[in-house]
Amino acid sequence: MERLKEAIRREGRYLGRGILKVDSFINHQVDPAMMMEIGNELARRFIPSRPTKVLTAEVSGIAPAIATATKLDIPVIFARKSKPVTMPEVVYHTQAPSHTKGKLVDLMVSPEVLGSNERVLIIDDFLASGLTLKALAEIVKMSGSELCGFGVIIEKSFEDGRALLSTLGVPIESLAVITKMSDEGIECA
């Protein structure tokens, strides 16, 4: 997606410590037209996998997950980071390190929305270390459902998350791959 890569080069900001700020069009303010293009492209790539639900982590994964699920005409589930009173006592729960928060975050999904007979596509904004996506895959496994792939907007290839996820044996699709970030700029493959 050339439009996405151009936006990353033009508006993305390298903040050090491996952090890429894309708040102006993905993470804080969302470019809805671009997000629908992202969703359409991710959906196109995963139609053969026949997903029945999309799973993501709150908050930044919600926009691309909804855009993808809209095109696939399936529901979206987002793993909560704090447990609301409306969630049942027993939930699927794991933790993952947050790159931007610098600490472990909880990820919880209610069994009421993720049963054991689903084909789950995980969508998120970034693939870096792969630990958040792997934690979401653990939730899918806990539920007894089948993981059918990972789709991300931006992959930072130098953080080796793809290698971690590839052991799960499902497709991994990235729309933009960052090969290098520095104060001089951002390079996309």
Q: What is the pLDDT of residue 100?
A: 72
The model carries a pTM of 0.96
Q: Could you say which residues of the chain have pLDDT below 50?
A: none
Predicted pLDDT at 145? 98
Delimit the domains of the chain by residue range: 2-188
Q: Quote the CA–CA distance of 143 and 139 in Å, as a whole number.
A: 6
Write out pLDDT tens, residues 115-162.
999 999 999 999 999 999 999 999 999 999 999 999 999 999 999 999
pLDDT for 98 equals: 82
186 within 8 A of 13, measured Cβ to Cβ? no
| Third-level CATH fold of 2-188 | Rossmann fold (3.40.50)
Average pLDDT score over the chain: 96
Per-residue tokens: 162:
């793809």
